[in-house]
Structure 1
């Protein structure tokens, strides 16, 4: 409905000049529909009352609150802010990426990360797990966002990933010997249980929120294997024990079946990618309550780019061509087997801001639309151990609210066009237009005269 979106966009532009409101301001969101992600139900007309950073109440129908500002969203379905459980906000795919690393300083990656964070928030993702960076730059990004210096999603970062010499976490793979050096625990490279404890403790000192390990090979490093086991069970158990001492969860990048088995037995909280996961792995994951984060979009993107001459080095292109076609089918089998699934995309492997394509790929894999929305809300919040604050539209939770034009349960691709984004009571996008943050609107904006609101 272009007329309606146009009017809302113009209204948003005018409102963008308004100053941010006080912390205790009250705002009412008038939603045509809302999705109860806890109950798995589509609700009718719903009013969401926001006070400060949190939701004060949810009420059916349209209500007015004296003295409150409001947003007119009767064209939309409102949902909790989305959670991407697997991102890399300080990098992005590029055919020059393997040479840029020799020209760019860490400041170059850090500055670019601010743009990637904005695009992620614009796409409706108000929270992310960042599972790996270069030198801890996403810790600084998280802190700047939390301080209100720049806009972006709420970040829980693992900082540098932890792995073995020459493994997927070793950023010096492919370097000539005089440049490669011998990275150790301070850089996340471990060989043995003692190194594992040192690496985790260093992450705690550096301000990480969780731990990411690399127990298998991967696609985009310059080594030969995508699925071989690259950490011993002893090393994994040591990382997990140290992590739990410091209140960290542990995410495990694992493509190969043996690496998945070791990671699950070792006590990790989630398996990322899981390309070659077999039936025994799925059974083991169910027994241990281990989460699975499929990242189908990453597999599809690398498969596509592997066909472009020169986009990847030849060895990486060969691995991408092998892995890409398999991830979606694995995700479908895992769903049917009853493995716990949380939404995650491996953003940076594909361009930031396209995260919501994962919903479509999950549905194509055989998952119901409501399930995939829950994967990015209630499931992901549980994986983060943040269900008290995130994942549903409930009184007392953070006022993270998004809206799409229409019903995503009928057409999941609508999630790729989020028109409204609020995070902690501050509005960052309205009518499809990115805004200078405003937390309160004095009056509801007008709608286009005579414009039919589809489905509502």
Structure 2
């Protein structure tokens, strides 16, 4: 439908839980044309415009998952699954995973590392309407060191010239941003350990400068405390994981956090729905320190954005709310979590046309049964999903 008036018990316009009781959203040609009380919009909108009435429900901005890997299968060995898959089979699987995300209310995903530019190809198919899926913000091939984290995706670089060349290839392939594996990671056996830097401070600054030359921001995978500091100083836009690791354990530095806040760097903790198992595996002391650090960062004013790392082992593509429940366990309010999944996420991704419901914004929105500002589980009860005004999920099609 090109035009529709969607009405519900409440409309969460954002940010910070701002809402309209008994409100409506008028969608016209993929854009939000008006937002306001139903009694006013219903009277002013022509009778022939379709009405979508949702008693007991909430209309809100579509959710944003800031960290996914559509090429990974969330199984115990996603690396082999990517390497061994043929292009057609992997493309089909990625489209299916994108639809799983959409069914969970996610209307925008940021893919932070795939193979052969397949996320860009899927983005084009979705944008053209050939397949149904969320909006995709794609990083294409992540930069890593030789033998480094996720080197199997093809982005190994060792010299300044190689860094420049890989960023240029990514830009030419249609990348929306550059992803750098600034530290090691758990997914690559034999590579640098999670806290070990994969690039020098000068190389990180070069990556940010070269990305900017192509009009692109940088997302940095950074576990190590030293690496986090270097990424902030280099000027990255977002820090993924940000787990403050060292060989001795968690080493948190409030001074670095102050620079994160001052430089408007957003942090994606990349928490999947299996977070309780993850904390158990960490052990009580390390798990407690990790959660304390997140709370200290929150108190310092860090902008947290929602991301599931969907695709890595145990991080399923349909369990967005499971990630939010981790933050709820730390005392984050529902309004904070909704912001991290909408307006704050859009800000971090540089998207100015989504994240809130206001005239002129892209019509990415969801309808959920209940009130997510008082009951987080309401986000699991998806009634409708609209992407750019197109109904992508309805009660009659699941």
TM-superposed CA distance for 1:392, in Å, is 0.7
**Separation in 1, partners of 2:133, 2:164:** 32
**Separation in 1, partners of 2:195, 2:375:** 35
TM-score normalised by L of structure 2: 0.90
CA contact (8 A) 1:294 1:327 kept: no
1:135 aligns to what? 116
Task: Tell whether 2:47 aligns with 1:84.
Answer: no
| Matched ranges for 1:75-224 at <5 A | 75-101=56-82, 103-171=84-152, 187-223=154-190
CA contact (8 A) 2:267 2:304 kept: yes
TM-superposed CA distance for 1:278, in Å, is 3.2
1:177 aligns to what? none
**Separation in 2, partners of 1:51, 1:360:** 34
Distance change in 2, residues 1:264/1:320 (3 Å): farther
**Separation in 1, partners of 2:387, 2:370:** 21
* Structure 1: gaps spanning 5 or more residues: 1-20, 173-186, 308-318, 436-456
Task: Tell whether 2:23 aligns with 1:46.
Answer: yes
CA contact (8 A) 1:80 1:401 kept: yes
Distance change in 2, residues 1:345/1:97 (3 Å): closer
| Matched ranges for 1:47-446 at <5 A | 47-62=24-39, 63-64=42-43, 65=45, 66-101=47-82, 103-171=84-152, 187-223=154-190, 225-276=193-244, 277-297=252-272, 300=275, 303=278, 328-349=291-312, 350-387=315-352, 389-431=353-395, 434=397
Q: Which moved more, 1:234-243 or 1:30-39?
A: 30-39
Distance change in 2, residues 1:324/1:229 (3 Å): farther
**Separation in 1, partners of 2:97, 2:283:** 24
CA contact (8 A) 1:44 1:60 kept: yes
CA contact (8 A) 1:328 1:361 kept: no
* Per-residue Cα deviation, 1:235-261 (whole angstroms, up to 9, x for no partner): 111111010011101000111101101
Q: Secondary structure at the match of 2:272?
A: helix
* Structure 2: gaps spanning 5 or more residues: 245-251
Q: Secondary structure at the match of 2:55?
A: strand
Question: What is the CA RMSD across the aligned residues, in angstroms?
Answer: 2.3
CA contact (8 A) 2:72 2:81 kept: no
TM-score normalised by L of structure 1: 0.79
2:249 aligns to what? none
CA contact (8 A) 2:7 2:52 kept: yes
CA contact (8 A) 1:211 1:249 kept: yes
Aligned residues: 384
2:247 aligns to what? none
Q: Secondary structure at the match of 2:346?
A: helix
Distance change in 2, residues 1:396/1:320 (3 Å): farther
**Separation in 1, partners of 2:295, 2:284:** 20
TM-superposed CA distance for 1:121, in Å, is 0.7
TM-superposed CA distance for 1:98, in Å, is 4.5
Q: Secondary structure at the match of 1:241?
A: helix
CA contact (8 A) 1:80 1:402 kept: yes
* Per-residue Cα deviation, 1:390-442 (whole angstroms, up to 9, x for no partner): 011101111111121111111112212322111111111223x545xxxxxxx
TM-superposed CA distance for 1:129, in Å, is 0.9
Q: Secondary structure at the match of 1:363?
A: helix
**Separation in 2, partners of 1:96, 1:282:** 34
Q: Secondary structure at the match of 1:255?
A: strand
Q: Secondary structure at the match of 1:218?
A: coil
**Separation in 1, partners of 2:285, 2:79:** 20
TM-superposed CA distance for 1:298, in Å, is 6.6
2:248 aligns to what? none
* Per-residue Cα deviation, 1:44-87 (whole angstroms, up to 9, x for no partner): 10011111101111121341532100111122011011111111
Q: Which moved more, 1:376-385 or 1:321-330?
A: 321-330
**Separation in 2, partners of 1:52, 1:323:** 51
**Separation in 2, partners of 1:60, 1:101:** 49
Q: Which moved more, 1:103-112 or 1:249-258?
A: 103-112
1:176 aligns to what? none
